[in-house]
Amino acid sequence: MEMTIKKSNKLAQVTILKQILRRCSSLEEKNSNRLPHDVPKGHFAVYVGKNRVRHVIPISFLNQPEFQFLLRRAEEEYGFDHDMGLTLPCEEVVFRSLTSMLKMK
């Protein structure tokens, strides 16, 4: 039973990640004339903190449980159906600490 729960939880996470990537792709299609040139392939932009400071991070972060937690909080707080870009409800100093840790993994 425990293996079934872990497997279904993993499937739910994969589904959420696919939705996020699809959302990011659809934003790019809508704004194809205004694609940011500072976002390298394999990366995406997120907005963090009260001032919505923009950070460009690797897509590989989507696989990390710590980052998935932030994505779930973002979905609860803002939803993903808005034009604000992917906004994470996190203080910038905490986000920088998290990304530093994830880069070392």
Distance in angstroms (rounded) separating the CA atoms of residues 8 and 22: 21
Give the pLDDT of the chain (105 residues) as one tens digit per residue: 444 445 556 666 667 666 665 655 444 444 444 556 778 999 999 999 989 999 999 999 999 999 999 999 998 988 877 777 889 999 999 999 999 999 887
What's the confidence (pLDDT) of residue 60? 93
Residues in CB range of 70: below 8 A, 6 or more apart: 88, 89, 90, 95, 98
What's the confidence (pLDDT) of residue 103? 87
Q: Is 46 helix (H, G, I), strand (E, B) or coil?
A: strand
Nearest to 72 by CA among 19, 22, 26, 28: 19
46, 86 in Cβ contact below 8 A? yes
What's the confidence (pLDDT) of residue 79? 81
Q: Is 64 helix (H, G, I), strand (E, B) or coil?
A: coil
Whether pTM > 0.85 for this model: the answer is no
What's the confidence (pLDDT) of residue 17? 63
Give me the helix-helix angle, 65-77 and 92-104, nearest 10°. Answer: 150
